[in-house]
Amino acid sequence: MYINPFEKIRFRALVGYAILAFIAPGFTVVILGAFLPAWFKGKSAPLRGSVILPLLYVFFCLFTFGMLGRAGLSYRQLCGEFPTWRRLGLYSLWAFPQVIFSLSTFFLLYFPIAFFMPEFFQERFIESDHSTISLSSDKHVLANLLVFLTAVFIAPVVEEFFFRGILLTRWAVKWGVLRSIFASSLVFAILHLDPIGAFCFGCVMAVFYIRTKSLFIPMVIHIANNSIPSIMDWFEILSDASPSETTLEEFQELWWIGLIGFTILIPFVIYFWKHYIRKTDWQVPYLTEPSNGKNNQ
């Protein structure tokens, strides 16, 4: 008798593996520092900070894939068919409205914080260095490459696999599709600095996954979404040795950027509603019969 593998997968087990994955990179860096002190020992070591996040993803995958294999999960059925490169390219364009939305929500969400909690905002967003690029060491090239690959490729693939693939399907079996979209997107948002933007991004990626029956679609959109700020960060750092910083007063005067962004998004929202929300069958891909993909545009 066939048993759905998602009946065997437990969210609490994933949380446990995630906790272990958060702990393991620290021990790994300490061990690496003993053998390669120039690269990993000390706060100024070039690879000390840049290796933490990719190690976290690697350990989490190592810990969880054993459980998924024992459950009998079919990765081919979960991921669906690989689309044509042309189709992937067209879907990647959805990253641009996603970035506009994240930027707009950032300005509108933190606009009142900048007024009522100026000290917190100054310390958290103005004075702190959010750049992931380091130019202070002759060994920075490898560290920067690792950071870029993690942000642009590793993180999108792993996050889409687990949030849209595993969590969405697991909770769809337990609670139904709509509640699973909300819950998986909420967990996704909690782990990001822009919770509102991340939550909406997670919901949109879930709709794309359910609509197209291919996990590669949200993966490539996520890759494109992360590529835009990463590439902009590189250009800003490399084009100016001392880039200018936005002051608190300047940020308080830029609230209109959020309104313009939401105005630009109106046609995208209408198109998304008509062609994806209204035409989606709301069946989780893993639980549907295989199709030739012609109707999943």
Q: What are phi and psi of 184, to 5 degrees?
A: -65, -35
* Nearest partner of 77 among 212, 233, 182, 214, judged by Cα: 214
Percent of all residues in the chain with a pLDDT value above 90, rounded to a whole number: 58
Pair 183, 173: CB distance under 8 Å:
no
| Identity of the residue numbered 195 | P
Position 292 scores a pLDDT of 47
- How far does CA 118 lie from the centroid of its chain? 29
Q: Taking residues 101-115, report their average pLDDT.
A: 80
H or E element in which residue 30 lies: helix 11-35
Instruction: Return the higher-pLDDT residue of 234 and 278.
Output: 278
Position 227 scores a pLDDT of 95
Mean pLDDT for all residues in the chain: 86
Taking the C-alpha atoms of residue 152 and residue 54, their distance in angstroms, rounded to an integer, is: 11
- Look at residue 216 and tell me whether its pLDDT is greater than 60: yes
Instruction: Pull the structure tokens for residue 185.
Output: 């997107």
H or E element in which residue 95 lies: helix 95-116
Position 230 scores a pLDDT of 87
pLDDT grade, residue 270 (50/70/90)? very high
Position 234 scores a pLDDT of 76
Judged by phi (left if over 0) then psi (alpha if -120 to 50, else beta), residue 268 lies in: alpha
Torsion, Cα 4 7 12 18, to 10 degrees, reads 0
Position 21 scores a pLDDT of 96
Q: Taking residues 11-28, report their average pLDDT.
A: 95
* Nearest partner of 159 among 193, 133, 192, judged by Cα: 192
Least confident stretch, 216-225, 234-243, 269-278: 234-243
Instruction: Return the higher-pLDDT residue of 194 and 253.
Output: 194
- Look at residue 219 and tell me whether its pLDDT is greater than 80: yes
Q: Following DSSP, what letter does each residue of 170-222 receive, concatenated?
A: HHHHHH-HHHHHHHHHHHHHHTSSSHHHHHHHHHHHHHHHHHHS-THHHHHHH
Position 255 scores a pLDDT of 76
Least confident stretch, 101-115, 147-161, 201-215: 101-115
| Identity of the residue numbered 120 | F
pLDDT grade, residue 109 (50/70/90)? confident
3 state SS of 44: coil
Instruction: Return the higher-pLDDT residue of 296 and 118.
Output: 118
Least confident stretch, 62-76, 133-147, 187-201, 227-241: 133-147
39-75 confidence digits (pLDDT tens)? 787 776 768 878 999 999 999 999 999 999 999 999 9
CA distances from residue 219 to 28, 56, 148, 164, 205 in whole angstroms, order as listed: 28, 19, 16, 9, 8
Q: Which residue has the tokens 């949200």?
A: 218
CA distances from residue 216 to 130, 161, 169, 205, 287 in whole angstroms, order as listed: 29, 9, 15, 11, 17
125-174 confidence digits (pLDDT tens)? 655 555 555 555 555 778 888 889 999 999 999 999 999 999 999 999 99
- Look at residue 20 and tell me whether its pLDDT is greater than 60: yes
- Look at residue 295 and tell me whether its pLDDT is greater than 50: no
Position 289 scores a pLDDT of 62
Position 239 scores a pLDDT of 66
Instruction: Pull the structure tokens for residue 72.
Output: 């009998």
Instruction: Return the higher-pLDDT residue of 261 and 37.
Output: 261
